[in-house]
Structure 1
């Protein structure tokens, strides 16, 4: 039975305590996806959730003009209070949007109770069978990018900060018969060091010729050869990227969801004669 005579408050928390809650939540999931949710959790404003003065979890939301929720962890003993906790979090944060991973049952059920609309935000990909990776087009190879490649990288206009990728060895140059034709990204996951987010860019004149999927295939193979796990993501409306990822041999295994939240949904249900 849900208790109603409890005091719920949100208190200041240290970065160490917030990171511990983030790590614990990450480890509770069967799959990480790419770093989309990890970055939201890490960049959030965090508060300790207290029930009757005792800490029972951590909430996280952005601090901008239109805040959105991304994290709400609760100890098992406090799960029955999730609805009341959400009311407090929504009131203090002002958040009316949440981003959630479809495989994150804890967040989907807790935030979903207040959702008046749900939509896709990004597709998430994994590699169930390395044997499904496509054979790259002949003559294509990828080599780790160096500062000598910055002129080419900047000429693509694809990113604004190529130097940081080069410095952390997270980007490679794709060459076809020795000529630059694209870029491969292979960046360590923000929370799981055994996972690598992969992506690619192809020069416009060579798109729809199998170069993009070949770059992804070569990158995924290199990640696996290093004993790591490749994952990828793309925006939900980017069907060309989804097709390229699938052509490379990766499989859509989840979705980042966008929830529209209404803090008064239960109040209105009660006034309409629904369950309190």
Structure 2
């Protein structure tokens, strides 16, 4: 069988990519999305027909692998060729991506759990709300303060404020937390949310209230909120769960 691989732009494989990820039981968050969107993408061809695609982030990390259903009998042969196409060392795979995961485990040397992906249960959490908690949009005047209090938690404060992604949580006019809403570049009407509580105000339910406020903002704009956190960040996991989210999907890092 003549399998050919060709480097292409995201736009050339995006219809197939969207078809693939829309079949997942859970959406993935902005962290994994950035590793997919900013990867080098490749079209997989059998003779002259396009049968799939894959994506590699910074040469060594495989972030997508997909084959059309009519050609999945060739899956192992194709994955073997993909794996040898560059110096791939690892793969990022959500457990909701059965096709990719099944082919990667054939070669797995080590499997680590990287993160949780969360969705909203939409259960009532009004008993968690702090009565005088208020969430507002961050502005350019807040840049230095956000950087001072949050360190390197946010990737690019200037860009994120310009994009109207950052928020400040206040109690009685005093900042106690920061939040972020990142609209998905792949999913329609989906946004990743996250928060950072100022150090001296932790363990007071403020993070939970920030997540609740961000969820409400998402719904007001017609977006579905999702979230993710590092697998070993137990405090973030508890905060998200208290705010009504739950996880049934994990992000795996598989050494190939």
8 A contact 1:133–1:249 mirrored in 2: no
How far does residue 9 in structure 1 lie from its aligned partner after superposition? 2.2
CA 1:232–1:133 in structure 2 vs 1: closer, same or farther (change >3 Å)?
A: farther
Question: After superposition, where does 1:92-241 map in structure 2 within 5 Å?
Answer: 92-132=85-125, 135-156=128-149, 157=151, 158-159=153-154, 161-241=156-236
8 A contact 2:208–2:239 mirrored in 1: yes
CA distance in 2 between counterparts of 1:89 and 1:33 reads 23
After superposition, the C-alpha distances for 1:97-148 in whole angstroms (9 at most, x for unaligned) are 1110111112111222222322210011111224246532231110011112
8 A contact 2:26–2:119 mirrored in 1: no
Alignment partner of 1:91 is 2:84: yes
CA distance in 2 between counterparts of 1:18 and 1:199 reads 29
8 A contact 1:7–1:53 mirrored in 2: no
CA 1:17–1:134 in structure 2 vs 1: closer, same or farther (change >3 Å)?
A: farther
CA distance in 1 between counterparts of 2:14 and 2:6 reads 16
8 A contact 1:173–1:183 mirrored in 2: yes
How far does residue 154 in structure 1 lie from its aligned partner after superposition? 2.0
Alignment partner of 1:81 is 2:99: no
The TM-score normalised by the length of structure 1 is 0.86
CA distance in 2 between counterparts of 1:243 and 1:84 reads 42
SS for the counterpart of 2:26 is coil
RMSD: 1.7
8 A contact 2:7–2:40 mirrored in 1: no
8 A contact 1:136–1:218 mirrored in 2: no
The TM-score normalised by the length of structure 2 is 0.92
Alignment partner of 1:34 is 2:29: yes
**Unmatched 5+ stretches in structure 2:** none
Alignment partner of 1:54 is 2:49: yes
CA distance in 1 between counterparts of 2:29 and 2:224 reads 11
- Structure having the higher Rg: 1
8 A contact 1:134–1:214 mirrored in 2: no
How far does residue 249 in structure 1 lie from its aligned partner after superposition? 1.8
SS for the counterpart of 2:84 is helix
